[in-house]
Amino acid sequence: MNFPDDIPDEFGGIEPDTLPRLASALDRWRFTLIAFAILMTVVAIGVLSGSSKDSATDNSNPDVVVESSSVPLITVPLDRTLELGMKGDDVLRLQQRLKDLRFDPGPVDGEFGQNTVQAMWAFEKLVMSVPRERATGVVTPSTWAIMQSNLKIKPRRVADSPSHVEIYLPEQVLIVFKKEEPVLITHISSGTGVPWCEEV
């Protein structure tokens, strides 16, 4: 690399033979510096988006809120993906968490049956805003992490009575509320929307 003898003023005080060494050092560290810059950008975006709300963090569904708490939540990691037919303590924890959130996984027995699949369909559609045709009923470690959040499901309308039922046709989910708190959340199937009549 050749540099002109007349070095511009902004390089005043630097010897001409120093510039090739600086350029070589920059070439060696270029990818590290780029990676570091990208990392810092991602961290800054995460911090800025995470601090934009004080009291609650909205999920993709505005009716489901992750509340902040001064008491730290104790979470248990999931080591495997859970699906229909599996058994174990992790399935038992999943079923208990679904019950705690007021979904209906059937008996809390550690066996991932059809009721647990349907409870997961309701969770995916309501909390994670998964389109109903893409709900799998499968619990991945990332889904389990969402389930362990301090979730609160709110009614979509103001009720005239202490208890009311809300049916969300797009999500195919039914929720029974009592005093603004869900007591039952379940998957439903309202059909295809095609009118029909059956004679008995």
pLDDT digits over 102-126, tens only? Answer: 999 999 999 999 999 999 999 999 9
* Distance between CA atoms of residues 81 and 90, nearest Å: 10
Residue 82's contacts (CB-CB under 8 Å, 6 or more residues apart) are 90, 91, 94, 112, 138, 139, 144
Per-residue pLDDT tens over the stretch 162-179: 999 999 999 999 999 999
Strands 173-178 and 64-67: unpaired
Copy the structure tokens of residue 4.
């002109």
| Contact predicate 56/67, CB 8 Å | yes
Mean pLDDT score of the chain, rounded to an integer?
81
pLDDT at 75: 84
* Distance between CA atoms of residues 91 and 172, nearest Å: 24
Residue 190's contacts (CB-CB under 8 Å, 6 or more residues apart) are 167, 169, 172
pLDDT at 39: 72
User: C-alpha angle with apex 77: 58 to 136, nearest 5 degrees?
Assistant: 65
* Distance between CA atoms of residues 22 and 17, nearest Å: 9
| Contact predicate 183/102, CB 8 Å | yes
pLDDT at 74: 75
181-187, strands of its sheet edge to edge: 163-168, 173-178, 181-187
pLDDT at 47: 57
Residues of the chain under the 50 pLDDT cut: 50-58
Copy the structure tokens of residue 27.
């070439």
